[in-house]
Structure 1
Amino acid sequence: MFNPFNLLDKLIKWYSEKVSRKAKIITAIAFLSFLIGVGLVGYKINDYFEHDPAACMFCHVHDDANKAWAKSKHNVVNCHECHHSTKKDQVVQLYRFAVLGQKKVEPRHGKIIVPWKLCVNCHWETNAKYPEARKINRSRYHAKHMFTEQVECAKCHGYKIHQFLPEERFCNTCHKDKQVHGTGMEKLPCLNCHTDRTKDLRPGRKKCLFCHGEEAVRKELIADGAIDVKFFQPSSATVKKAIKIKVPADAPMQFNCYECHKPHEAVRPDWGNCLNCHVNIPNVGKHGLHVKSMGMKCKECHKPHSWRVTNESAKKECVKCHEYREPRKFIGS
């Protein structure tokens, strides 16, 4: 019966007794060189598939992704620094291409192929290899969505392959009920209004005044460099079209615009809503006569954003209905 161990024993005995010392040295050097050569070739092959973007293009199965990557901000980043796969996955992919003839990558099926833990390597801490990567460690947008809501980065950045800057109305993919109603605001990018400057991401007064205010406000916000203004700055046409308002420094009700304006709900404020806060006003002075009996709207006397009825404004507005009377007498007898 054939015994491989006997054969091996004979081979070793022959090599030790019959082969000269010089031949043994040459054989050992040749064998060692062979091992080194195999190791180098293996290393080069592994390095190619692990670190060379050309390896991803070898199979020709995702040309669209390659083209988008080449045009993106990440075109200096190696594919494998973001896309990690196991050796098993790589073998399966190679088998599908070489044996099964698969020419296209399967759809993502909603999978997150780049987890947030990889993104923060460059966009949270400073990465010596990519020092120019924009940091998000002071961004309230990312604090809310990434840490509080645990939304994966790729849900907003890269939901279209290798397109990392979100589209203008990308928020609606999740916030489907937050459509905008308004004269000219319907198609505005979400971040034309929502800002990284406030804790709740809602538009602060100055963000509204970027379009509706003076040039000084625009310069201030641009210099501040918040994400919303840096990447989603309202166009000059939008700014020009917006109705300009002035809010006197001594005007009452110095609060956020959205307390009255609800752009996700209505085109303009319903001035009857003033009574939601000013509940007792109909019982004060002659408000009952004007509001209840005559059906007048608050803004007919109280001009938006200045609000206070002064002697000067009364001489212009009140006389449209009756002779001039001092505003203070409106309250008292």
Structure 2
Amino acid sequence: MWKKIILGVGITLICLYALFEIGYYATSDPFFCASCHEVKKYTTSWQSSAHKSINCLECHQPRGELGKFQAKARGLNYVFQHLTGDYTVPTRAVISDRNCIECHLDDNSAFPKTIKLKNTIKVNHYQTIKKSQSCIDCHRDTGHAVDIYLSPDLNGIK
């Protein structure tokens, strides 16, 4: 009896996780994000950025499986806000320095042409990291323009 219950629970959990993964990848494209969120201008700006070859979640989600759940829970909240009209312009999106460092310290083999921190001459990034300064202190506009809704020169982006 217990073996059947444990097997049933195990199979159910595996199926639920597989469905989550399918949904995760189906809803992780930047254009999917822009279709529901009030971030169309950010997506358009991203298309001409240095990071145009990576999707939103490479920067805007915590690493690991729990990061996927956290990002999609946040996404469901954005969908609810969009559908009810009860939203604010997302000007302070979540970005973890760990996401920047993973690629720019050469820890992510998926992006081999990434500019590496060790190859930068102007700034000693290791000292910056040791001082607990955030990457976005200096690189706020790297992935896409920010504060688009506040900037008159970017209001022409649709």
Tell me the TM-score normalized by structure 2: 0.63
8 Å contact from structure 2 (residues 52, 143) kept in 1: no
Per-residue CA distance 1:6-56 (angstroms, 9 max, x = gap)? xxxxxxxxxxxxxxxxxxxxxxxxxxxxxx8x987654333212x322221
* Aligned CA distance change for structure 1 residues 67 and 156 (closer, same or farther; 3 Å): same
8 Å contact from structure 1 (residues 60, 103) kept in 2: no
- What code does the residue aligned with 1:123 have? H
Per-residue CA distance 1:123-177 (angstroms, 9 max, x = gap)? 0125321100001035443123222x2210011112476259xxxxxxxxxxxxx
* Aligned CA distance change for structure 1 residues 160 and 81 (closer, same or farther; 3 Å): closer
1:59 counterpart residue number: 36
1:76 counterpart residue number: 53
Distance 2:98 2:31 in 1: 25
Q: CA deviation at 1:105?
A: 2.6
Q: Secondary structure at the match of 2:25?
A: helix
Deviates more, 1:58-67 or 1:116-125: 58-67
* Aligned CA distance change for structure 1 residues 60 and 106 (closer, same or farther; 3 Å): closer
1:133 counterpart residue number: 114
* Aligned CA distance change for structure 1 residues 40 and 119 (closer, same or farther; 3 Å): closer
Q: Secondary structure at the match of 1:114?
A: coil
1:120 counterpart residue number: 101
Q: Which has the larger radius of gyration?
A: 1
Per-residue CA distance 1:108-135 (angstroms, 9 max, x = gap)? 2xx7x21211111110125321100001
- What code does the residue aligned with 2:133 have? V
Question: Counting helix residues as a fraction of each chain, which structure ranks higher?
Answer: 2
1:157 counterpart residue number: 139
1:145 counterpart residue number: 128
Supply the RMSD in Å over aligned alpha carbons: 3.0
Distance 2:40 2:107 in 1: 31
In structure 1, list runs of 5 or more residues that go unmatched: 1-35, 165-333
8 Å contact from structure 2 (residues 49, 143) kept in 1: no
In structure 2, list runs of 5 or more residues that go unmatched: 1-14, 62-66, 147-158
8 Å contact from structure 1 (residues 123, 136) kept in 2: yes
8 Å contact from structure 1 (residues 157, 163) kept in 2: no
Overall identity of the aligned pairs, in %? 23
- What code does the residue aligned with 1:82 have? C
8 Å contact from structure 2 (residues 104, 116) kept in 1: yes
- What code does the residue aligned with 1:71 have? S
Q: CA deviation at 1:94?
A: 1.5
Distance 1:39 1:52 in 2: 19
